[in-house]
């Protein structure tokens, strides 16, 4: 597919191919009650720890022509030059200036994934701002081949959830952020995989030690509580999330059963 004009593309296919894939929890979730089990995602090599920001997932989808489309996690909201954009969650207002200035890809479709947070975006917004300030941080970026858009919709979804998107490595993502002047989600530490915690209680202590409070507060009146961390290999081949609420809920249930 050589025509990458967003005005003529199948937008449903574009939406599916550029959605952010599901990320597993570090400890497996029990489908019966949402509690954590002892099984963990297996990592090898160096593991990068980053802050998981509690906002709304957003996308900047860029084309070689300089055109772009902005989207939320589930839907496309705005294309460059639109007179009226979908105001959902403040994503267009938060990201339009950034999308206007970043360099387009040489080929294919580049997708920058950002967390838009603060304001009135989520119930956790007060942890980042006391004055409804809005911020954004990039947490991933991927390349989507144009030919994927010509596939059947179900095949596109399976391709995405099966790891088809070509994500940037940690070094590539850092270089991109530096070139474009985009702030990344905070990098907390890099640890060898064999130093990662195994048990649920041990992991809660590990996450708390690395992230006692958010590092992306937008003003001095923010509540300051963090959502959790993301663990990812340097080549971005393995990724998982560890949220404080999952560990608190699981350990509370275990304590109640013992009592």
C-alpha separations of 91 from 56, 106, 216, 217 in Å: 8, 25, 18, 18
Report the pLDDT value the prediction gives residue 77, as an integer from 0 to 100: 95
Residues 136, 128: Cα–Cα separation, whole Å: 11
Kindly report the CATH class assigned to 11-258. Answer: alpha beta
Report the pLDDT value the prediction gives residue 3, as an integer from 0 to 100: 63
Average pLDDT, the chain: 95
Q: How confident is the model at residue 83 (pLDDT cuts 50, 70, 90)?
A: confident
Q: Domain locations in the chain? A: 11-258
Q: How confident is the model at residue 257 (pLDDT cuts 50, 70, 90)?
A: confident
Contact in structure between 203 and 37 (CB atoms under 8 Å): no
Report the pLDDT value the prediction gives residue 87, as an integer from 0 to 100: 82
For 56-79, what is each residue's pLDDT tens digit? 999 999 999 999 999 999 999 999
Residues in Cβ contact with 252 at an 8 Å cutoff, skipping those fewer than 6 apart: none
Q: Which residues share a beta bridge with 25?
A: 241
For 89-101, what is each residue's pLDDT tens digit? 899 999 999 999 9
Q: How confident is the model at residue 115 (pLDDT cuts 50, 70, 90)?
A: very high
């Amino acid at each position: 597919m050589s025509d990458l004009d967003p005005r003529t593309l199948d937008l449903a296919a574009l939406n599916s191919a550029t959605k952010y894939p599901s990320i597993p929890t570090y400890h497996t979730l029990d489908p019966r009650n949402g509690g954590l089990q002892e099984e963990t995602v297996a990592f090898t090599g160096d593991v990068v720890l980053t802050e998981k920001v509690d906002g709304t997932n957003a996308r900047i989808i860029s084309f070689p022509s300089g055109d772009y489309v902005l989207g939320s996690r589930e839907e496309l909201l705005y294309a460059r030059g639109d007179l009226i954009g979908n105001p959902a969650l403040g994503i267009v207002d938060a990201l339009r200036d950034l999308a206007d200035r970043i360099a387009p890809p040489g080929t294919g479709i580049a997708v920058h994934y950002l967390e838009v947070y603060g304001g009135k975006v989520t119930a956790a917004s007060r942890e980042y701002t006391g004055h409804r300030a809005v911020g954004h941080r990039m947490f991933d970026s991927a390349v989507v081949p144009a030919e994927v858009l010509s596939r059947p919709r179900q095949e596109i979804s399976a391709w995405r959830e099966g790891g088809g998107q070509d994500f940037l490595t940690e070094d590539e993502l850092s270089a991109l952020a530096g070139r474009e002047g985009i702030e990344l989600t905070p990098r907390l530490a890099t640890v060898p995989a064999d130093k990662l915690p195994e048990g649920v209680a041990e992991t809660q202590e590990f996450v708390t030690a690395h992230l006692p409070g958010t590092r992306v507060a937008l003003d001095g009146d923010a509540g300051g509580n963090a959502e959790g961390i993301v663990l990812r290999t340097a080549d971005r081949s393995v990724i998982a999330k560890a949220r404080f609420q999952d560990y608190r809920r699981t350990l509370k249930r275990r304590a109640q059963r013992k009592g």
